[in-house]
Amino acid sequence: MSFPAILILEDGSVYEGLGFGIQELSVGEIVFNTSMSGYQEIITDPSYAKQIIAFTHPHIGNTGVNDEDSESENIFASGIVIKDLPNNYSNWRATQSLESFLESKNTIGIAGVNTRALTAKLRDHGSLKACIAPGNKNSIDKAKEALSEFNGLQGLDLAKEVTTENSFFWEEGTWPNYHEVKNDKLIVAIDFGVKKNILRLLRKHLGRVEVVNAQINFAELMEHKPDGVFLSNGPGDPEPCTYAIELIQKLLEINIPIFGICLGHQLLALSGGCKTYKMKFGHHGGNHPVQDVKSKTVFITSQNHGFAVESSSLPDNIIPTHISLFDQSLQGIEFQDKPAFSFQGHPEASPGPHELESLFIKFNSMIEINAKKN
């Protein structure tokens, strides 16, 4: 059931609209996402913890929600903003509406917002702190109070809030051959907010996948006897995750193969002596061109990050492998003296292009080459 709601930004802008989901106030950093499909995957990506997602595409909710496409079991995002709330949904796989899905996951949304104007504001001013609140303009004071108590994402460690409590083995491969497995390596995936499709691709290309808590220590991790370690995506600022940085530095010392994505990429970079920074409005969408530095090949990629690695901070033993053609920001690194590499974007897609699935194959090859050396 819909209800009156407002969206208020830290610059004082107020947008009135139609609320849906739960009738509870929520705050977060508002960012815009330019993907034209895959809203269910986007909403359930743990990397959006403490963020409000404003969709630029106008047709959000038209195909409902199904039982297969969620990238996690929960919604960690603070809320969503859409142009229109559809009266009906239609898709042969759909089991419920977007409205009922948000309600079941204790999440608020707001529709009827001029998302073109909102996106233009965010592009000009950068990501802003925001609040979605049920009610009309009489709720402004309460929303402002909640907004004043939110300090933003910088300096915020959210990985430990979204990680799994207990380790588990992931058994599912990719659609439609869920049980197709090409290798029998053991990969320990450190869960900083991992998406399901990353685990599917690790399973498909490398073999057994064990998912562990973000705060696992070195001794505990090595008890699993992994062939390689994967550093997952996740939300928040990488710099406060000192427990992860210290662990990765120990893993680098023993030359175990490492592959990082998104937050995992940033943590690997920090472990190697690089620096990170908060971006103006980040990269959020499924149409971002990224260039391979060596081959000059351009890939269209899925992106979701608000922090990045400073390209000027790379030490001599780390080289850039990919750059964004939108803003020349660093998209990938590789160690020259260690079997370790990472990518800022999302080669697993879900949603988005699959053009860089080859990075999972590269990880498998790196493990095999490293095994021969040892």
Could you list the active site residues?
262, 346, 348
Q: In what order do the strands lie in the sheet with 258-261?
A: 168-170, 207-213, 185-191, 228-231, 258-261, 340-343, 330-335, 318-324, 276-292, 298-309
Q: Is 229 helix (H, G, I), strand (E, B) or coil?
A: strand
What are the phi and psi torsion angles at 236 (to 5°)?
Answer: 85, -170
Measured CA to CA, the distance from residue 370 to residue 176 in angstroms comes to 31
Sign of torsion over alpha carbons 302, 303, 309, 311 = positive
Element of type H or E holding 230: strand 228-231
> CB-based contacts of 226: which residues, under 8 Å, 6+ apart?
186, 187, 188, 210, 256
**CA 317 to the chain's CA centroid:** 27
Measured CA to CA, the distance from residue 119 to residue 112 in angstroms comes to 14
Measured CA to CA, the distance from residue 359 to residue 362 in angstroms comes to 5
Measured CA to CA, the distance from residue 260 to residue 243 in angstroms comes to 16
